[in-house]
Chain A
Amino acid sequence: MTDTLLDIRGLSVPLPTGADRPFAVKDLSLSLSKGEILCIVGETGSGKSLTAFASMGLLPTNLPKPSGEVMFEGRNLLTLTEEQRREINGRRLAMIFQEPIAALNPIYRVGEQVAEAFRLHTKLSEAEIKQKVIDLFTEVHLPNPREILRSYPHQLSGGQCQRVMIATALALDPAILIADEPTTALDVTTQAQILRLMLDLREKHGTGILFITHDFGVVAEIADRVAVMRHGTLVETGPAKEVLLNPQEEYTQNLLAAVPRLQPKVSRSYLGEPVLVASKVAKTYQTRTLFGAGRKVKAVDEVDVTIRRGETLGLVGESGSGKSTLAQCLIRLVEPDGGEVTISGGKFSGLKGADLRAARQRVQIVFQDPFTALDPRQSVRSAIAEGPIIHGLSPAEATARADGLIEAVGLDPSGGDRFPHEFSGGQRQRICIARALALEPELIIADESVSALDVSVQAQVLDLLAEMQERLQFGMLFITHDLRVASRICDRIAVMRHGKIVEQDEPATLFANPTQDYTRKLLAAVPGRDWQTNPTRKAV
């Protein structure tokens, strides 16, 4: 392409002395053309976000100065003075962020925050600015622009906040939009809408978009060109279709292989008797006010769930659909308002005190964030052995079991004496799984357990869960927002919406013939759903 907008030449971002490597980004060269969408893909620590921050002059102040050149409109962005930078940011270069709600200032109305861009860079009157903001809100498809204008960020959803951010970014028709994981924190359906919006805007304004993501599905959906980064260096770059379908480098090949396929797993026939039978589980949340009862929200609305020994039931749905509340009601981390729960033949609902504590042994949970789920001051061995000791195993037996599990989940046997901070995210999730398995539960609840992990690590943890299930034959309730992950591990998938299970079937049937519109919508929203299964279709 000819119209080069942004030309990154030999960019290096050094890390402070004492970091685990000398450079966050090393000798990176990339270019972005007018109207092009360039996706930078990489796992945690690949330096993709810092590349964006360096271009915007937003690097954390504790980092040493970057070297190399980032050329834009004849100027090196790395050597701008603060004044020049202020003049160019928001006007010629704009950026949107990963957490849209947190990226808006909580104390100002969103209309004000968009208006600020006009006030900083133009001499328009207040009335003209207001009209411009309303036009922008209409363009990014915000409903009732005049009302949204007067809302505070906490009154809007994540998707709406991201639309406000995009409106701010587009306010002055910038040449380049830098998007740092703009859809990672959003639901799939919202993600699909935001991606479509970005494609439209590129079409209409010819904006060059530098899109940073870890998700190959998103890449397949919108990228013209892809740059794969690892440990701060460029692994390979090329047209999206080439890189996705015919990757040259081994690292890219492995990364792509790790992305779960949207291909339904063949369900198994040797499943045992039910370990979890729940009927008519219900939970209503009520906002309380001074004058009595407020608004009622049926978080879980008379749901029936059955899971058999050795079976994995996937629970999918958007945020707020009641997935997590249902799981917490099943194991009574949240007390349900009604319904019967039986776990491995024993009644679970209605138990109290010591009986309930004893019954808890039969069901364990693995959380989303492995960084906060482990006590930082407890060694890995004692974290794993603690549960069995509480439930009556002698310390010697519990320690032996813990050591066995540390090996079983693929960690170094000497790891038991170490502490959580010495392990990576994936390793910590393995520790959490070992901790859950230590009680020899009949049922495991995995609440978004792989959502915070990089794809390659995600694949390993999913394999570990499947392997352990094969060996120990526990039932598993697997909560996820990611249909790819669900299709890889689940025997059955239940789709939740507004507190109800709207559809439930084997993945093959569900994916081929969804009966509900909502399921169809969810499936359609999976980014880049065709590139793995149907490579002949155009990837973009």
Chain B
Amino acid sequence: MARFWLIKLARTLLTLWFVVTFTFIVLRTSGDPVMALVGPDALPDEIEQFREQWGLNQSLVVQYFSYIGQMVTGQFGVSLRNSRPVMEIILERVPWTLLLGFCSFALAALVGIPAGIAAALRRGRFLDRAVMAVAVFGFALPNFFMGILLILLFSLVLRVLPSSGTGTFWHLIMPVLTLSTFTAGTLARFTRSAMLEVLERPYMRAAAAKGVSSWRRIVFHAFPNAAIPIVTIVGLNLGQLIAGAIVVETVFAWPGIGRLLVTAVSARDLAVVQGLVLVIAFTMVMANLAVDLIYGLLDPRIRGGGR
């Protein structure tokens, strides 16, 4: 049992190290960072000064180790645009994205999972087909288009919701709806197929033979088994959620890290971009670790070990 967690943890650290190293290599091979920082009109003296200031005149090995040291201690440097620490800039944006992501995910799960279960129980009937049609619509419609449609309807035609910005609960509704549509559709489809598979298992029939009521069979016998593949999908889907946030935050002028990434890239603020890449990678890796751990909690066969 303890070994299961240890192995997972070791793998997570390895992945993080890989991401950090990869970022280092990409930034050093995609052109002289100094030239990118100071711009094409800089004088040779300035360039030299910059090199010294950023430690870029040292050998790559020394640079690599001091870079790793900075990453481990959380020093991401300062923004080139306003000289504020990168960490501070990112951290003030994180809660907004978390709020958006968490609400979207919760909504997607609350809609998608029950819809998938209902579709599986009514396999081949009207409800099943209706749910699946909506689900396909949900994950086929691009985020930006969905966002624009919502703005058109609720802000311009009905005039009931604000089209952008933050401040009230009402500002949250459209971004959350937009972002959750894709995840809800995916979850509904996977829940349906996972449930269909589980419902066919002999232990479901054995539960009925014991006199277990049908809702108890679904809630306590079928769903926990179906949840195992669903959790995997949720982990994979988190990347989609972050990618979606970049678009949605831009469409609705939401002050999260997605929009920060877009502005930092267009302003060539490399320090901020590097910080964001690492933060996002870190989140993804941690989310997948969480998925693995939940997987172990759900499935005694994964936990391994003897009696």
A interface residue numbers (CB < 8 A to B): 56-58, 82, 85-91, 93-95, 97-99, 102-107, 116-117, 120-121, 147, 150-152, 154-155, 165, 168, 289-290
**Separation of A248 and B7 alpha carbons in the complex (Å):** 66
Is the pair B301, A87 in contact by a Cβ cutoff of 8 Å?
no
Q: Which of B3, B7, B201, B210 contacts A116 (CB 8 A)?
A: B210
Decide if A103 touches B203 in the complex (CB within 8 Å): yes
Residue of A nearest to B210 (CB): A90
Contact call B205/A58, Cβ cutoff below 8 A: yes
Partner of A117, one of B6, B210, B306: B210
Would B206 and A121 count as touching, CB distance under 8 A? no
Contact B212 A120 (CB under 8 A): yes
- Identify which of A56, A94, A102 contacts B202 (C-beta below 8 A): A102
CB <8 Å contact, A89 and B208: yes
Provide the residues of chain B in CB contact with A82, threshold 8 Å.
213-214
In the assembled complex, which residues on chain B have CB atoms less than 8 Å from the CB atom of A58? 205, 208-209
Report if B225 contacts A (CB, 8 A). yes
Q: Does B300 contact A (CB under 8 A)?
A: yes
Report Cα–Cα, A151/B301, bound state, in Å. Answer: 11
A89-B208, A90-B209, A95-B209 known; A105-B301 Cβ under 8 A: no
Q: Out of B7, B206, B209, B224, which one reaches A107, CB within 8 Å?
A: B224
Q: Among A82, A88, A120, which residue has the most Cβ atoms of chain B within 10 A?
A: A120
State the Cβ distance, B14 to closest chain A Cβ, in Å.
13
**B298 & A107 in contact (Cβ 8 Å cutoff):** yes
Alpha-carbon gap, A87 to B208, bound state (A) = 11
Contact code string B214-231 (vs A, CB < 8 Å = 1, else 0) = 100000010011000000
Of the residues A95, A102, A121, A151, contact of B203 by C-beta under 8 Å: A102
CB-CB under 8 A from A290, the residues of chain B are 3, 6-7
Q: What chain A residues lie within 8 Å of B92 (beta carbons)? A: none
Residue of B nearest to A151 (CB): B307
Whether a CB of chain A sits under 8 angstroms from the CB of B31 is no
- Nearest 10 A-B pairs (CB), nearest first? A90-B211, A90-B210, A89-B211, A95-B209, A103-B206, A152-B300, A102-B202, A105-B203, A103-B202, A86-B211
Task: Tell me whether B299 is interfacial, beta carbon within 8 Å.
Answer: yes
Q: Contact at B300–A106, with CB atoms within 8 Å? A: yes
Q: Which of A57, A85, A104, A155 contacts B206 (CB 8 A)?
A: A104
Q: Which single member of A56, A94, A154 contacts B300 (CB below 8 Å)?
A: A154
In the complex, are the beta carbons of B202 and A97 less than 8 A apart?
yes
Q: Does B207 contact A (CB under 8 A)?
A: yes
Given A99-B202, A102-B201, A103-B202, does the pair A91, B300 have CB atoms closer than 8 Å? no
A-side contacts of B202, CB under 8 Å: 97-99, 102-103
The CA-CA distance from A267 to B225 in the complex, in Å, is 53
Closest Cβ of chain A to B198, distance in Å, is 10
Task: Say yes or no: A152 contacts B301, CB within 8 Å.
Answer: yes
Q: Are the C-beta atoms of A107 and B214 separated by less than 8 Å? A: no
Question: Residue of B at shortest CB range from A291?
Answer: B3
Closest B residue by C-beta to A165? B206
Contact A106-B299, Cβ < 8 Å, known A97-B202, A97-B205, A290-B7: yes
Taking CB as reference atom, which chain A residue is nearest B3? A290
Q: How far is the CA of A168 from the CA of B298 in the complex (A)?
A: 24
- Beta-carbon nearest neighbor of B207 in chain A: A105
A57 to B306: give the CA distance in the assembly, Å: 37
Complex CA distance for A165 and B221, rounded to whole angstroms: 16
Distance, CA A398 to CA B212, complexed state (A): 58
B222 smallest CB distance to A (angstroms)? 9
**Which among B202, B210, B224, B306 has the highest number of chain A CB atoms within 10 Å?**
B210
Least Cβ–Cβ distance between B279 and chain A, in angstroms: 30
Alpha-carbon separation in the docked complex, A290 to B3 (Å): 8
B167 to chain A, nearest CB (A): 45
Collect the chain A residues with CB atoms within 8 Å of residue B208's CB. Answer: 56-58, 89
Check B225–A105 contact: CB distance below 8 A.
yes
Residues of chain B with a CB closer than 8 A to A89's CB: 208-211
Cα separation A56 to B211 with both chains bound (whole Å): 10
Shortest distance between the CB of A137 and any CB in chain B (Å): 14
Majority SS at the chain A contact face: mixed
Q: Which of B6, B7, B301, B307 contacts A147 (CB 8 A)?
A: B307
Chain B residue with minimal CB distance to A114? B210
Q: Within the assembled complex, what's the spacing in Å between the Cα atoms of A103 and B205?
A: 8
CB neighbours (8 Å) of A120 from chain B are 210-212
- Greatest chain A CB density within 10 A among B211, B225, B299, B300 is at B211
Most buried by A among B7, B202, B221, B301: B202
Q: How far is the CB of B130 from chain A (nearest CB, A)?
A: 20
Return chain B residues, CB-CB under 8 Å to A104.
203, 206
Q: Write the nearest CB–CB distance from B210 to chain A, whole angstroms.
A: 4
Contacting residues, chain A, for B6 (C-beta < 8 A): 290
Smallest CB separation, A299 vs chain B (Å) = 20
Which of A87, A103, A116, A150 is the one whose CB lies under 8 Å from B307?
Answer: A150
Residues of B within 8 A of A91 (CB): 211
Find the B residue at minimum CB distance from A171: B210
B221 touches A106 (CB 8 A): no
- Shortest B232–chain A CB gap in Å is 15
Closest to A107 in B: B224
Complex CA–CA separation, A102 to B206 (angstroms): 9
Query: Which residue of the partner chain, among A57, A87, A106, A152, contacts B225 with CB atoms under 8 Å?
Result: A106
User: Chain A: which residue is nearest B300 at the CB level?
Assistant: A152
Complex-state Cα separation, A362 to B118, whole angstroms: 55
Besides the known contacts A155-B306, A155-B307, 5 further A-B residue pairs in the complex with CB atoms under 8 A apart: A82-B213, A90-B209, A105-B206, A147-B307, A152-B300
Task: Give chain B residues whose Cβ lies under 8 Å from the Cβ of A289.
Answer: 3
Q: Which residues of B contact A107 (CB under 8 A)?
A: 224-225, 298-300
User: In the complex, what residues of B have CB within 8 A of residue A155's CB?
Assistant: 306-307
Compute how far the CA of A104 lies from the CA of B209 in the bound complex, rounded to whole angstroms.
12
Distance, CA A89 to CA B211, complexed state (A): 5
**B235 smallest CB distance to A (angstroms):** 19
Chain B positions within 8 Å of A93 at CB level: 209
B211 touches A88 (CB 8 A): yes
20 A-B pairs whose Cβ atoms sit less than 8 Å apart in the complex: A58-B209, A82-B214, A86-B213, A87-B211, A88-B211, A89-B210, A94-B209, A97-B202, A97-B205, A99-B202, A104-B203, A105-B225, A106-B299, A116-B212, A117-B211, A147-B307, A154-B300, A155-B307, A168-B210, A289-B3
How does the 8 Å CB contact mask read for B35-79 relative to A, with 1 for contact and 0 for none? 000000000000000000000000000000000000000000000
Cβ of B33 to closest chain A Cβ, rounded Å: 39
Whether A56 and B209, one on each chain, are in contact in the complex, defined by CB atoms closer than 8 angstroms, is yes
Residue of A nearest to B222 (CB): A105
Measured in the bound complex, the distance between the Cα atoms of B38 and A521 in whole Å is 87
